[in-house]
């Protein structure tokens, strides 16, 4: 073997990385309070593995690479795992997946493609459940993989965990079964829990995983029982006692015993299918009600698993193909207080730019005054930032242990940063508001909204351009859009004749518009797409709306007190009357509410069968209706789309007979999200 020269810096770095990993392991596993993102931890761990592979002479018996973190918390008894609970190696790319699969083929001396099982890597807490004669006997956390904590009493409170195996399924109950799976909290459950903690002045959990861990490691199981914990099974440490030759068959047996198996598990005959499934899972992950941080890929056949074996840390027959990280740490440079179109003041953190999932994040919302106070945020603070899907990036938590004393406190303003009007806090509301309707910031935001995607969607009039129009004085209220002319537009910096012409054409195009769409675009407080539709059905003209009083609004089905008050305030404002008059002079023509034709699912009739993963059946039906479609309860020729969820049954057969188009849940999601931001 060729000896490498070791530079002192690398030796120092190796020790440093070990020290860091120990520190973060303790934060994560013992305190349930990590201060770096999983992605950053993975990077650190990778660095350690690389350094140790390069310099075997610095191997050390107590390196964190030998175990997977964790220690027994005070108050719980330790349990020695009969079969060690291994971890998984991580991969991050298609290239790594391909080399994983090639390595397996080399190891097994085969050129045949391997059959894999893929499972979502639900981000919760790994647990072991020991069943004796079919009865739940003991449950424990993973701990360091060899020794965990006895949390039997707590696990028994998780309703998804069977206390006794179902024995009427034609399978013999083994004497002893070591079941493994993931305990987790739904996103909804996590938010509810945090809301409650907020009301009670308790510290909030950073994410569902920590909330699940915190809930399971309650010494008082009665507290655990009040937390909506959930569970998916994914394996057994002694599968030889069951009639299953591979992972897929094993999951079937487990599900017959009464364990919940993720409906997203799939067998893949070819590696290319795994790659496809990865993309699919990535696409739907944000629509699931629980956090999934990757895909676990397992060789299906137990015979092959046994031949492949495992290293000290992880099996060779499985990997975790992680999704790009959604969190990162960075520093707060400043806080901007933004006034929205309804006057709500939102604190926004301006950050040292940091890349998350391929996008550079420079700003993140701090939500509201209370949230800011609760976090005790200061300028110069290190913070954990999250960007998940299309959601606006948010500051998840402050890392006060990284303060150096130079941080400065931040005051929430008492008057509007734009118009100086005193800010108001209405009791029971989280929002701090500027209540001056004529505040320039609010007007500007209303104009941006009116021209934007949720409004008239005027091409060429994005946020920046609208701001420019306001700045230059060409537009002051929404009616002004209808009186723009080519000359002044073309002479704006960066415009020119062509862009002026295009924008004018886009505006002209929208002057004839369904009433509901127009009402929605006005950005009236509490009036979204649905309410706008209701209004358009009840009023045939803007005139009618301006003449209605609060009582009249309130009598309409689907319009509550708050909305009625907001509508009255808007439509009785003389400024609004003038603006509407000018819009009409400018050519605004409202089309009657027969606008269903405009809606993307108009004329289509959906039938749902089987269970959906991303949303409830009710939500799915609501979505269809909101987009102008109809929902049928029985299969008939009238149906245009059959959406088949998991375990879809007899209706599918009938639908096939009638040759109706079948959609997977994924197809459906793509269909209803088409055209959304
Ligand atoms: S298999 C020997 N399957 O990922 C195989 N793990 O880093 C070990 N996890 O501790 C685990 N979903 O907490 C497996 N379908 C799945 C999983 C899964 C989530 C977690 C589990 C484990 C960690 C591995």
Domain boundary among 535, 564, 591: 591
Q: What is the pLDDT of residue 71?
A: 41
Residues 27 and 47 in one domain: yes
Residues 92 and 185 in one domain: yes
Containing 117, the helix (H) or strand (E) segment is strand 116-122
Q: What is the mean pLDDT of residues 244-254?
A: 96
544 CA → ligand 1 middle, Å: 61
Decide if 454 is inside a domain.
no
| C-beta of 52 in contact with ligand 1 (< 6 A) | no
Q: The CATH number of the domain where 469 resides is what?
A: 1.10.150.20
* 301 and 246 Cβ atoms separated by less than 8 Å: yes
First to last CA, the chain: 56
| C-beta of 271 in contact with ligand 1 (< 6 A) | no
In this structure, which residue's CA is closest to atom 17 in ligand 1? 121
Decide if 89 is inside a domain.
yes
Measure the CA–CA gap between 316 and 299, rounded to whole angstroms. 9
Residue among 185, 208, 234, 251 whose CB has most ligand 1 atoms within 8 A, to mutate: 234
In this structure, which residue's CA is closest to atom 13 in ligand 1? 126
Q: Please give the share of the chain, as a percent, with pLDDT higher than 90.
A: 55
Q: What is the mean pLDDT of residues 396-407?
A: 90
Q: What is the pLDDT of residue 62?
A: 64
Decide if 453 is inside a domain.
no
- Three-class secondary structure of residue 8 per DSSP: helix
Q: The CATH number of the domain where 618 resides is what?
A: 3.40.50.10190
Measure the CA–CA gap between 454 and 93, rounded to whole angstroms. 36
| C-beta of 88 in contact with ligand 1 (< 6 A) | yes
* Greater model confidence, 546 or 54: 546
Residues 169 and 299 in one domain: yes
Residue among 88, 184, 315, 316 whose CB has most ligand 1 atoms within 8 A, to mutate: 88
- Three-class secondary structure of residue 31 per DSSP: coil
Q: What is the pLDDT of residue 417?
A: 96
Q: Convert the pLDDT of each residue in 67-121 to its tens digit.
A: 443 344 457 889 999 999 999 999 989 999 999 999 999 999 999 999 999 999 9
Q: How many structural domains comprise the chain?
A: 5
Q: Convert the pLDDT of each residue in 163-176 to its tens digit.
A: 888 887 788 999 99
Domain boundary among 535, 565, 591: 591
Decide if 521 is inside a domain.
yes
- Ligand 1 nearest-atom number relative to CA 68: 7
Average confidence score pLDDT of the chain: 88
| C-beta of 480 in contact with ligand 1 (< 6 A) | no
Measure the CA–CA gap between 191 and 208, rounded to whole angstroms. 8
Q: What is the mean pLDDT of residues 635-656?
A: 83
Q: What is the mean pLDDT of residues 263-272?
A: 94
Q: Convert the pLDDT of each residue in 25-39 to its tens digit.
A: 766 654 557 788 888
Active site residues: 121
Decide if 1 is inside a domain.
no
Q: Convert the pLDDT of each residue in 536-592 to its tens digit.
A: 988 989 999 999 999 999 998 878 899 999 999 999 999 999 999 999 999 999 988
Decide if 160 is inside a domain.
yes
Q: Please give the share of the chain, as a percent, with pLDDT higher than 70.
A: 94
Q: Give me the torsion for CA of 504, 509, 515, 520, rounded to 10°.
A: -50
Decide if 16 is inside a domain.
yes
Residues 58 and 85 in one domain: no
Q: Convert the pLDDT of each residue in 127-171 to its tens digit.
A: 999 999 999 999 999 988 999 999 998 898 888 888 888 887 788
Measure the CA–CA gap between 571 and 525, rounded to whole angstroms. 12
Residues 241 and 390 in one domain: no
Residues 85 and 234 in one domain: yes
pLDDT at 594 over 60: no
* Greater model confidence, 228 or 474: 474
Residues 175 and 306 in one domain: yes
| C-beta of 86 in contact with ligand 1 (< 6 A) | yes
Residues 135 and 200 in one domain: yes
| C-beta of 296 in contact with ligand 1 (< 6 A) | yes
In this structure, which residue's CA is closest to atom 3 in ligand 1? 234
Decide if 223 is inside a domain.
yes
For residue 611, the enclosing domain spans: 605-673
Q: The CATH number of the domain where 334 resides is what?
A: 2.40.50.140
In terms of C-beta density within 10 A (0-12 exposed, 13-18 middle, 19 or more buried), how is residue 98 classed? middle
Helices (H), 78-172: 94-107, 152-155
Residues 230 and 258 in one domain: yes
Residues 418 and 549 in one domain: no
**640: CB partners within 8 A, 6+ apart:** 603, 604, 605, 606, 660, 661
| C-beta of 182 in contact with ligand 1 (< 6 A) | yes
- Ligand 1 nearest-atom number relative to CA 86: 2
Q: What are the phi and psi torsion angles at 234 (to 5°)? A: -140, 0
Confidence of residue 676 (pLDDT cuts 50, 70, 90): very low
* 14 and 51 Cβ atoms separated by less than 8 Å: yes
| C-beta of 251 in contact with ligand 1 (< 6 A) | no
In terms of C-beta density within 10 A (0-12 exposed, 13-18 middle, 19 or more buried), how is residue 639 classed? buried
In this structure, which residue's CA is closest to atom 2 in ligand 1? 86
Domain boundary among 260, 287, 322: 322
Q: Convert the pLDDT of each residue in 600-635 to its tens digit.
A: 788 889 999 888 877 777 778 878 877 878 888 888
Q: What is the pLDDT of residue 66?
A: 56
Residues 257 and 296 in one domain: yes
Measure the CA–CA gap between 116 and 301, rounded to whole angstroms. 8
Q: The CATH number of the domain where 44 resides is what?
A: 1.10.287.610
The total of other beta-carbon atoms located within 10 Å of residue 158's CB is 22
In this structure, which residue's CA is closest to atom 19 in ligand 1? 121
Q: What is the pLDDT of residue 223?
A: 81
328 CA → ligand 1 middle, Å: 23
23 CA → ligand 1 middle, Å: 23
In terms of C-beta density within 10 A (0-12 exposed, 13-18 middle, 19 or more buried), how is residue 506 classed? middle
Residues 521 and 557 in one domain: yes
């Amino acid at each position: 073997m060729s000896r490498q020269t070791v530079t002192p810096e690398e030796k120092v770095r190796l020790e440093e990385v070990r020290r860091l990993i120990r520190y973060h392991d303790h934060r994560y596993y013992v305190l349930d309070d990590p201060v770096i993102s999983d992605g950053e931890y993975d990077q650190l761990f990778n660095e350690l593995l690389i350094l140790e592979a390069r310099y075997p002479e610095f191997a050390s018996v107590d390196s964190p690479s030998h175990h997977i973190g964790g220690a027994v918390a005070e108050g719980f008894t330790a349990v020695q795992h009969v079969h060690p609970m291994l971890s998984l190696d991580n991969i991050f790319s298609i290239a790594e997946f391909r080399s994983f699969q090639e390595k397996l083929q080399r190891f097994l001396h085969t050129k045949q493609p391997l059959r894999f099982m893929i499972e979502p890597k639900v981000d919760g807490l790994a647990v072991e459940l020991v069943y004796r004669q079919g009865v739940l006997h003991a449950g424990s956390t993973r701990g360091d993989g060899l020794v965990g904590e006895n949390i039997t009493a707590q696990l028994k409170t998780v309703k998804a965990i069977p206390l006794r195996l179902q024995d009427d399924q034609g399978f013999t109950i083994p004497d002893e079964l070591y079941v493994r799976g993931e305990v987790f909290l739904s996103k909804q459950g996590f938010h509810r829990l945090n809301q409650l903690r907020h009301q009670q002045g308790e510290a909030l959990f950073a994410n569902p995983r920590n909330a699940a861990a915190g809930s399971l490691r309650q010494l008082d199981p009665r507290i655990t029982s009040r937390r909506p914990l959930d569970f998916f099974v994914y394996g057994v440490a002694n599968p030889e006692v069951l009639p299953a030759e591979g992972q897929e068959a094993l999951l079937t047996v487990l599900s017959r015993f009464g364990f919940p198996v993720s409906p997203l598990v799939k067998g893949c005959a070819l590696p290319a299918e795994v790659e496809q499934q990865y993309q699919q899972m990535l696409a739907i992950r944000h629509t699931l009600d629980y956090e999934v941080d990757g895909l676990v890929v397992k060789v299906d056949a137990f015979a092959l698993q046994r031949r492949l074996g495992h290293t000290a840390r992880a099996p060779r027959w499985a990997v975790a193909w992680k999704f790009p990280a959604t969190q990162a740490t960075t520093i707060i440079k400043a806080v901007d207080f933004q006034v929205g179109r309804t006057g709500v003041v939102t604190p926004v953190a301006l950050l040292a730019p940091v890349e998350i999932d391929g996008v550079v994040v420079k700003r993140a919302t701090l939500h509201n005054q209370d949230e800011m106070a609760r976090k005790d945020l200061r300028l110069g603070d290190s913070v954990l930032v999250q960007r998940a899907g299309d959601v606006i990036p948010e500051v998840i938590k402050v890392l006060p242990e990284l303060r150096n004393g130079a941080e400065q406190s931040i005051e929430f303003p008492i008057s509007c940063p734009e118009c100086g009007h005193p800010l108001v806090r209405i009791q029971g509301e989280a929002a701090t508001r500027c209540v001056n309707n004529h505040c320039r910031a609010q007007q500007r935001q209303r104009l941006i909204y009116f021209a934007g995607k949720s409004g008239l969607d005027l091409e060429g009039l994005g946020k920046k351009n609208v701001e420019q129009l306001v700045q230059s004085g060409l537009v002051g209220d929404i009616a002004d859009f209808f009186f723009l002319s080519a000359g002044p537009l073309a002479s704006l910096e960066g415009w020119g004749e062509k862009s002026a012409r295009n924008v004018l054409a886009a505006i002209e195009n929208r002057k004839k518009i369904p009433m509901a769409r127009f009402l929605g675009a006005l950005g009236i407080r509490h009036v979204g797409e649905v309410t706008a539709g209701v209004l358009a059905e009840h009023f045939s003209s803007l005139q009618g709306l301006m003449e209605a009083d609060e009582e009249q609004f309130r009598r309409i089905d689907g319009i509550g007190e708050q909305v009625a008050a907001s509508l009255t305030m808007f439509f009785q404002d003389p400024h609004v009357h003038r603006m509407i008059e000018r819009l009409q002079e400018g050519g605004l023509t409202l089309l009657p509410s027969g606008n269903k034709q405009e809606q993307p699912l108009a004329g289509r009739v959906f039938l749902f069968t089987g269970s959906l993963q991303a949303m409830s059946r009710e939500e799915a039906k609501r979505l269809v209706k909101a987009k102008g479609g109809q929902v049928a309860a029985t299969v008939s020729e009238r149906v245009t789309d059959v959406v088949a969820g998991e375990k879809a049954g007899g209706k599918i057969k009938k639908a096939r007979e009638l040759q109706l188009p079948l959609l997977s849940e994924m197809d459906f999601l793509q269909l209803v999200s088409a055209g959304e931001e």
